[in-house]
Amino acid sequence: MLRKLSFALALFLGFCHSVKAQDAKNILQSATKSMGAPKSIQYSGTGHLGSLGQAYSPGSTWPENNITAYTRTIDYSSLSSKEELTQVEPSPIRRGGAAPFAGEQKQVNLVSGQYAWNQPGAAPQPASAAAEERQIQIWLTPHGFLKAAMENNATAKKGSGGTVMSFMDGRLKVNGTIDNQGLITRTETWLPNPVLGDMLVETTYSGYKDFNGVKFPTMIVQKQGGYPVLDLAVTDVRANVDLALTVPDAVRSAKAPPVTVTSQKIADGVWFLAGGTHNSVLVEYPNYLVMIESPLNDARAMGIMAEAKKLVPDKPIKYLINTHNHFDHAGGIRAFVAQGATIITQEMNKPFYERAWKAPRTLDADRLAQNPKKTTFITFKDKYFLTDGGRSLEMYRIDGDNHNAGMVMVYLPKEKILVEADDFTPAAPNAPSTGPRAHAGTVNLYEDLQRMKLDVVTIAPLHGFVVPFSEMQKAATPQVSSLSQN
Ligand SMILES: [Zn+2]
């Protein structure tokens, strides 16, 4: 009865725009009564995992893998969460990016307080860059939201679909909607993203059911940057399960790895810049330099710029060539814009970058946000040659690429070097199979090269290491693809 009265009050207050502090508290207390207040929760199900920033074409939905098993356990008082999931790539082969794999891939993603790590095997892998997101994800769950809203004196105002409660957790703003039955139907926050700026993270909860006195949604959909990164059909919920996480010493003492850039001269005036997860290639022209790819973020961009300056101190970087719009390959472009370089990219990327780069960047103001500058683009549809002073770079859109619709490779005709991203990544010895999707991408690129009669001797891949063309030939032949039957 009291609960009903309280919601009647909330509804009445809806006619006013904002809700008084005491009433905001009452709404939270009533919602806590409706939903239950477990100390910890464990929920399981199946669904789909979307890969943020890995769309097949710019502006389209994130590509999805199937989640065949999912269990997440959260302990609200110790700010700990353990997410265990098994994913498989869909069949037939899907389009778009994200690291390809064969068979099943298991993940165990953990956070405890300020420490985040992954532990799919025996050895924990520190994941300090993920800590902020994993912490806030605890407060984005229905019961987590109620607890954090209460502790942080959330304010309330009437919104569409119910009362919207808001609070700050550190630098992050969190909103949540409570409907007229006292159920959390939606939570949202914003996280910094190198391409999208302050990126909306919105989670909707529906199909609430009672699980032994605790109400929990049976459908969870989280969108980041406008498209789902997770949808989950929840089949099992348990309240007050134990989650006693011990932060491993290796995680506690881990420091964020510094940006490391190594250089390898692969031809006269051509350097392969590696040292991290993503490579770049620097090319010297008579009066300027050209960088192929500025991956990840501002920090990586600064690293490769510094290396260029060390290798060729007296020439500016006039052009940056971008192979495709996946965020891990495009996150460092803005730093080159800030530095005054012209961006060369396939034509479908320009409107996407222009739109994405307009977003506010209050959470992580990069160099371009601090010193705004108009971007100069050179775009092309199928090919573009940058020929000057006896040096030539040939850019071609890769026909039939399953990884990205606007995927571009760069060919150095004199040196017979091919620079390519994601279609062929040389495998380290004993590396697990990357599966049928990766193989299809390699075969397609290989066949394109044959059709175009490009004479390639060396592959300078934007992941992995420089190899002779024969390595790619081997990877593209059917014998090597026996694992693709999985
Ligand atoms: Zn990619």
Q: How far is the CA of 398 from the centre of ligand 1 (A)?
A: 13
User: What gap in Å lies between CA 229 and CA 51, rounded to an integer?
Assistant: 6
Q: What amino acid is encoded at 422 in this protein?
A: D
pLDDT of residue 278: 98
pLDDT of residue 481: 45
User: What gap in Å lies between CA 455 and CA 218, rounded to an integer?
Assistant: 56
Beta bridge partners of 167: 174
Q: How far is the CA of 178 from the centre of ligand 1 (A)?
A: 39
Q: How far is the CA of 423 from the centre of ligand 1 (A)?
A: 8
Q: How far is the CA of 311 from the centre of ligand 1 (A)?
A: 28
* Tokens describing residue 461: 């891949």
Q: How far is the CA of 277 from the centre of ligand 1 (A)?
A: 13
Q: How far is the CA of 296 from the centre of ligand 1 (A)?
A: 11
Which of the 8 DSSP states describes residue 374?
P
What is the reported pTM? 0.93
Q: How far is the CA of 85 from the centre of ligand 1 (A)?
A: 23
Q: How far is the CA of 98 from the centre of ligand 1 (A)?
A: 7
Q: How far is the CA of 471 from the centre of ligand 1 (A)?
A: 20
pLDDT of residue 2: 55
Length of the chain: 486
Q: How far is the CA of 22 from the centre of ligand 1 (A)?
A: 50
- Residues contacting 130, CB < 8 A, separation 6+: 109, 111, 116
| Alpha helix (H) residue ranges in 344-426 | 349-356, 367-370
Q: Which residues of the chain have pLDDT under 50?
A: 14-15, 480-482, 484-486
The HSE-up count of residue 329 (CA atoms within 13 Å, CB side) is 32
pLDDT of residue 400: 97
